[in-house]
Structure 1
Amino acid sequence: MSFDRSMARCSFCGRHSSDVRRMIAGPGAAYICDDCLQLCNDILRDPAPFSPKALELASRPPVVVAAPPLGQERTENAGSREPLRTVTLELEQKQQGMTLILHRILYYQDFFEIQYLWIRPPFTAGFAFVPRIIFFLKDNTGTQWTGDRGGMILARPDLASGPNNAVYQGTARFRPRPATEANTLTIRAADPLGQFEALPPQPWQFEITLS
Structure 2
Amino acid sequence: MSFDRSLARCSFCGRHTSEVRRMVAGPGAAYICNDCLELCNDILNDPTPFSAKALELASRPPVVIAAPQGLETERENMRATHEPLRVVTLELEQKQQGMTLILHQMHYYQAHFELHYLWIRPPLTAGFAFVPRIIFFLKDNLGAQWTGDRGGMLLARPELASGPNNAVYQGSARFRPLPAAEARVLTIRAADPLGQFEDPPPTPWQFEITL
TM-score, normalised by the number of residues in structure 1: 0.73
Contact 2:43 2:51 in 1 (8 A): no
Rounded to whole Å, the distance in 2 between the matches of 1:65 and 1:206 is 35
Deviation at 1:148, TM superposition (A): 2.1
Contact 1:194 1:201 in 2 (8 A): yes
State the partner residue of 2:54.
58
State the partner residue of 1:169.
170
Deviation at 1:81, TM superposition (A): 1.5
Rounded to whole Å, the distance in 2 between the matches of 1:48 and 1:11 is 21
Aligned partner of residue 93 in structure 2, secondary structure: strand
Deviation at 1:43, TM superposition (A): 2.9
Deviation at 1:47, TM superposition (A): 7.3
The structure-2 alpha-carbon separation of the partners of 1:79 and 1:12, relative to structure 1 and needing over 3 Å to count, comes to farther
Contact 2:11 2:32 in 1 (8 A): no
Structure 1: runs of 5 or more not aligned: 1-9, 14-18, 67-73
Structure 2 counterpart of 1:48, which letter? N
Contact 1:64 1:157 in 2 (8 A): no
Residue deviations 1:91-133 (CA, integer Å, cap 9, x gap): 0000000000000000000000000000000001110100000
Deviation at 1:38, TM superposition (A): 4.3
TM-score, normalised by the number of residues in structure 2: 0.73
State the partner residue of 1:16.
none
Rounded to whole Å, the distance in 2 between the matches of 1:199 and 1:193 is 12
State the partner residue of 1:21.
16
Deviation at 1:62, TM superposition (A): 5.4
Asked if residue 39 in structure 1 is aligned to residue 28 in structure 2, the reply is: no
State the partner residue of 1:129.
130
State the partner residue of 2:66.
none
Deviation at 1:25, TM superposition (A): 9.3
Structure 2 counterpart of 1:142, which letter? G
Give the number of the structure whose residues are more often helix, by fraction.
2
Structure 1 counterpart of 2:171, which letter? G
Contact 1:92 1:99 in 2 (8 A): yes
Q: What fraction of aligned residue pairs are identical, expressed as a percent? A: 63
Q: Which has the larger radius of gyration?
A: 2
How many residues of Structure 1 are paired with residues of Structure 2 in the alignment?
Answer: 181
Aligned partner of residue 45 in structure 2, secondary structure: coil
